[in-house]
Amino acid sequence: MVLALPHSFAQISGFSQTMHDQSQPRSNHLKRHFARRVIHQARMTLELWQRLQSGVWNAQEMAALVESNRLLLRYAQRFEQAEHSQLATGINHCLNAVADNKGRLYSEVIAELNLLMQRLSRTGLRHHDELEEVVLPALRRPIYVALQDPLASKRLSMQLQSFGLFTQVFDSLDGFNSALAVRHPAAIVLDVDFTGQDCGLRFAQALQQGSAARLPLLFFSRQDADTQTRLSAVCAGGQAFFTGTIDASIVLECIERLTRIAHFEPYKVLVVDDSRAQASFTERALNSAGMVTSTLHEPNRVMSELAEFQPDLIILDMYMPRCSGPELAKVIRQSERYVSVPIIFLSAEGDLDKQLDAMGEGADDFITKPIKPRHLIATVRQRAARARSLHALMVRDSLTGLYNHTHILQLLEDACGRARRTARPLSFAMLDIDFFKKVNDTYGHPVGDRVIKSLAVFLKQRLRKTDFIGRYGGEEFAVVLPDTAAASALKVIEEIRQHFAEILHPAQPQDLFCTFSCGIAELQGSEDGKMLSKNADLALYSAKQAGRNQVALFIR
């Protein structure tokens, strides 16, 4: 008996392929749905963490964080989101450690939680997430752009998209309202004269009145606005006001500042006290407010601990067996590096004259014991915040906000020391914008400054928070990449180079593209920062000699 086959192999194969093609959209839809739930829960966890960071930790807030992370772990495991599952497991381990210690927080747990939360804040938002093509367009809230000049709207939109943002452009109020009814944006760039003189301002005022939560608004005016217009913009909820020509890199920085999910840079406090009981009290109080502490009972180790820990503030006991607090403050102040670090004396000394004498030796405040934890936390947080702001002015470049030449080299030297002690890899990259003199000569220095700022923003956006980025000088940049071998650094910088070359910079008489060259060196043996910097510079020279717009490794 002969059996007739209903289909040839090719027909069966074709049918199977058709079914696969039909199932593909559904599969992508499910991926979007599952990933959206996981990332939404991640954001809930991050928001709770941010709330804890801004105040004193308590049982209720901790319980909410534990429950949110439990849901994150559950969703991540169910929907096979490996990275979220790993991070939620780590967070859960830290929270369990807090519970086992009867709610007491200590610096190691705070530091570990901060690291995990930093990584969590970047999941689903990075440019190379495995689900990028499927998930990110659906997950990222758009930036709405509504300028009176359609060409300017389109240009700004293209530039923001080059930086990885999802934008939507409008040319009418009806279209804007229709979009708002469907989805609220991450931020709005709005012309004060959108569709008519001052119409944008009136529209914004009505928009905010009808919204449960105020939307981040960035106003724009082609002409220099008067005080009344700017005041109206502030009353309408404006967070920024741009005039003349919009610089996409400045808009991007403003948007990232307004829409940042969480900011994880806890204050670091060094406590020097020979009394273990008093030091423990101080440490517990500050840890309960999310601050990272390091405690010394031996004053003679203070300089090495300062170099390693890099605190935002120092708390000193007034009287210690081997030296007094004022004497130790003098030693600290003799180092230029720590001149601006606030020093607070914490002592039972009640004699006002002695307190004033002690502060005359370089201290910034004097707190008498006993002290309530809330008072201590408020004082330390206020002093540390002010010191951090002032320190940023001293060590950062005014144009780009990156570290300046002196400080990036200091950070490189510190990183070299850590890499040698921990036997971890360290790479250093030097970047130089190609033909930058020609850009300045052809388009003018304001355009050149915008190109420099664009690259600075691009580097901050694409590199890790653990990397250090500096403006080495002029059009040169430097990047310190801890825990990174040269091959990995090459891959990262090469990807940045390719994407930066695609950014269109607005200019007259025509827009322009810019590129950069880069040299990378990896720390070897007993090399110091100077040698590593020299090697990276030699590699940069090789990249330029080879034709520019490329990345070269230093080969020994």
Active-site residue set: 475
Say how many Å lie between the first and final Cα of the chain, rounded.
Answer: 76
Dihedral sign of CA atoms 294, 297, 299, 305 in order: negative
Count CA atoms closer than 13 A to 428's CA, side-chain side. 29
Whether the CB-CB separation of 360 and 331 falls below 8 Å is answered with: no
Q: How far is CA 515 from the centre of its chain?
A: 24
Long-range CB contact pairs, 55-63, < 8 A, 24+: 55/289, 56/288, 56/289, 56/373, 56/374, 56/377, 57/105, 57/288, 57/289, 57/290, 59/103, 62/95, 62/98, 62/103
Query: To which H or E segment does residue 316 belong?
Result: strand 313-317
Between CA 159 and CA 245 the distance in angstroms is: 13
HEC sequence for 108-172: HHHHHHHHHHHHHHHCCCCCCCCCHHHHHHHHCCCEEEECCCHHHHHHHHHHHHHCCCCEEECCC
Between CA 220 and CA 239 the distance in angstroms is: 11
Reference 238, options 214, 213, 257; nearest CA is 214
Longest dimension (CA), the chain: 115
Reference 510, options 439, 456, 435; nearest CA is 439
Between CA 64 and CA 144 the distance in angstroms is: 33
Q: How far is CA 240 from the centre of its chain?
A: 20
Cross-strand pairs, 292: 268
